[in-house]
Structure 1
Amino acid sequence: MRRAASIQLHPEALRHNLGVARRLAPGVPMWSVIKAEGYGHGLLWAAEALAEASDGLAVSQIGEARALRAAGFGGPLLVLQGPRDVAEARACAEFALQAVLHDAAQLDYLDTASITLPEVWVKLNTGMNRLGFAPQVAMDVDARLRAAGHGHDGLHWMTHLACADEPGHPQNARQLERFAMTVAELPGQRSVANSAALFAGWGQGGASAAPGDYWARPGIMLYGAHPASLPAGRLPEGPDGDLRPAMTVRAPIIATQPLEPGSTVGYGATWTAADPGRAGIVAMGYADGYPRHAPSDTPILVQDRLCPLIGRVSMDMLAVDLSGLPEVQVGDMATLWGEGLPVERVARAAGTISYDLLTRVADRLQPGN
């Protein structure tokens, strides 16, 4: 059953934010990353908003790519985790997918499937230690793929930076140099830049870049959140990078409660009023995707004013301090994040990151106007 809380999506924001990515790396083709249901915004919605403006769309798994092809998206599709078995290897050929290969088992899948992929990407593990071939086997991987007939339209190379959201971290220079040295003599295009790396200026591989053409892979920035939104300090928010929120989450105030000094609010009586005031009860809780661990003072926007969350977040309700806002009444809307309240600010207050909030919003929220 749909809730009174709602999500308003802004497709024009996605296209604007892709334009920001292009300004950060002029001339660099863009894979728009729409994995994880378009970072919580909806896979098909994100694809529809971005397909024409992008050079290609990137997803995590074959199933997402199948859904896009079934919906009629015929452009380039990059599958970031590549095939997980022989059947998925065949699907890469059937649906004309550009697979990212990161493990020797995937080379075996391609052999067993008896197919050839015209265009493939190989991921190198330059220090993230998550996915990717060791740099020292890159030449062997290249030779094996070419001997089997893969990559006759392009055999390309990518890596992923572990600390791009901290541009000054020494790990970045180590990884960029390792990648550049590994691919220096290998033909094909290159890709190192996610959203954070684009803001750091590494859309074309950074100062140590190997020669060749580079692609970028913007993700979180497309949805309006700054990639440097770590849960500490006053780091950049979307508007600081000319990013516009693609999602606004709102919910109505369904009750108000007068508060006297010493009154407590919510489970555990964790918040106590110091002065006379008023609490507004908002129809949004952790079952809707709002973080249960968000502490008192997490910002909520009511009538263009930032008001603090008070007390613990309940399953489908939370409380906001309306002291000083006597005009706010039952039925008025509160913005949990989005237009007027960057999601990064809420995430920092809750000790998490914007990715977490955007991807957890529950399906029971209804589309807004």
Structure 2
Amino acid sequence: MSRPLRADIDLDALRHNYQLACELAPHSRALAVIKADAYGHGAVACAQALADLAPAFAVATIEEALALRAGGISHPVVLLEGVFEAAEYALAAEHDFWCAIHSEWQLAALEQSELAQPLSCWIKFDSGMHRLGFTAEQVLGAKARLEACGKARDLHLMTHFASADSLTPDYFQQQMAAVTALAAQAELPLCLANSPATLAWPETHAAWNRPGIMLYGGDPLEGANDASRRLKPVMTLSSAIIAVREIAIGEPVGYSGRFVATRPTRIGVVACGYGDGYDRHAVDGTPVLVDGQETVLAGKVSMDMLTVDITDLPEAGVGSRVVLWGEGLEVNRVAASCDTISYTLLTGLLPRVPRHYHGGVGSAADDQGVAQLASAQPLDTHA
């Protein structure tokens, strides 16, 4: 009998969340962001599940884009950080990868490249994130050079918001004002909205949006709104109790004895630990579901196991199903108990946790968790 830990991936929920992003911005097209292995959910399987809905995908690296091509995905793929060395431009042209251009060296390298065809280029404006991108003046210069060099086509302007998720979005408004002013000069199609902006800021909805974490059911907003409450969790991480211990008053549990019983306590030992990607920073009291009932973590997370308090769940025992996040337990709640965000929990799930896929288009995934989904032809996005 295999270890009970598994991640169930609901591809119907993924499709629902993508369609919500489109519904919120009916006059925009939505890049489905599937970088970091689709935020831990499996990039090829998620791309296959969205192939009939999404006109294009977005990733961080050319390796991620090539993995999609190897998986049968023929849609355009945006490299959100562009290339990391000049030689990648030839591959990008060969495979129809669309490239962000965020720095002078990338621009110069493209001008000097020998390409099979011109590349779709997305000029990145640093509107205030101060991570990647050009100043407004540099954007206008980059546009002129790209138009002149014959190596670029379908130019777009993009930026990244630092605080679109905030309840006090003053800095977001500053960034929005900066990109609005530049857009009037640059006269280029825009790609502005990340997940929080897609959910909360209609004024950011432009030619393209790029929903990421929201596709996987993670709410990126500091305070949920009507739209984010409609998101459905895509990943449910679950396991089972493999042992039960009876602990007397005053007895410690786990490394360093962080949890000490204040009453006669039943402890359930769960097959999941930080070696699987469950965050070791989870505090006592982190929510957990056992047989559908909420209880709490009791003691430090170990590499392969964690311990939960099942004193008030007399029917719980060896074999009881444990949901660590997902179905019935929002990943954001667990993340808050780990002093982190849902992104880190989902992307941090390690390869030894088997993924099992359900739903989607065409045939469902098989029992080994390998999606058997038909890849649709991409929409014509060059018009």
Q: Indicate the residue corresponding to 1:315 in structure 2.
A: 303
CA distance in 2, matches of 1:65, 1:220: 18
Shift in Å, 1:65: 1.1
Contact 2:28 2:209 in 1 (8 A): yes
Q: Indicate the residue corresponding to 2:215 in structure 1.
A: 222
1:169 aligns with 2:169: yes
Q: Indicate the residue corresponding to 1:334 in structure 2.
A: 322
1:271 aligns with 2:259: yes
Contact 1:3 1:364 in 2 (8 A): no
1:246 aligns with 2:234: yes
Q: Secondary structure at the match of 1:63?
A: helix
Per-residue CA distance 1:55-113 (angstroms, 9 max, x = gap): 21111111111121222211121110111112101111111111111011111221222
Change beyond 3 A, Cα 1:39–1:182: same
Contact 1:224 1:238 in 2 (8 A): no
- Look up the equivalent residue of 1:131 and give its one-letter code: L
Q: Indicate the residue corresponding to 2:370 in structure 1.
A: none
Change beyond 3 A, Cα 1:356–1:90: same
1:65 aligns with 2:61: no
- Look up the equivalent residue of 1:141 and give its one-letter code: A
Equivalenced residue count is 355
Q: Which moved more, 1:167-176 or 1:352-361?
A: 167-176
Q: Indicate the residue corresponding to 1:304 in structure 2.
A: 292
Q: Indicate the residue corresponding to 1:140 in structure 2.
A: 141
Contact 1:120 1:150 in 2 (8 A): no
Please, what TM-score do these two structures have when normalized by structure 1? 0.92
Q: Indicate the residue corresponding to 2:279 in structure 1.
A: 291
Shift in Å, 1:168: 2.7
Q: Secondary structure at the match of 2:283?
A: coil
**Sequence identity, in percent?**
40
- Look up the equivalent residue of 1:13 and give its one-letter code: A
Per-residue CA distance 1:241-272 (angstroms, 9 max, x = gap): 21111111011101001122212111111111
Q: Indicate the residue corresponding to 1:20 in structure 2.
A: 20
- Look up the equivalent residue of 1:335 and give its one-letter code: V
CA distance in 2, matches of 1:99, 1:87: 13
Moved over 6 A (4+): none
Q: Secondary structure at the match of 1:254?
A: strand
**Which runs of no fewer than 5 residues in structure 2 stay unpaired?**
357-366, 368-383
CA distance in 2, matches of 1:308, 1:169: 34
Contact 1:225 1:238 in 2 (8 A): no
Q: Indicate the residue corresponding to 1:232 in structure 2.
A: none
Per-residue CA distance 1:43-62 (angstroms, 9 max, x = gap): 11111111221121111111
Q: Over aligned residues, Cα RMSD in angstroms? A: 1.8
Change beyond 3 A, Cα 1:180–1:351: same
- Look up the equivalent residue of 1:146 and give its one-letter code: E
Contact 2:92 2:119 in 1 (8 A): no
Q: Indicate the residue corresponding to 2:376 in structure 1.
A: none
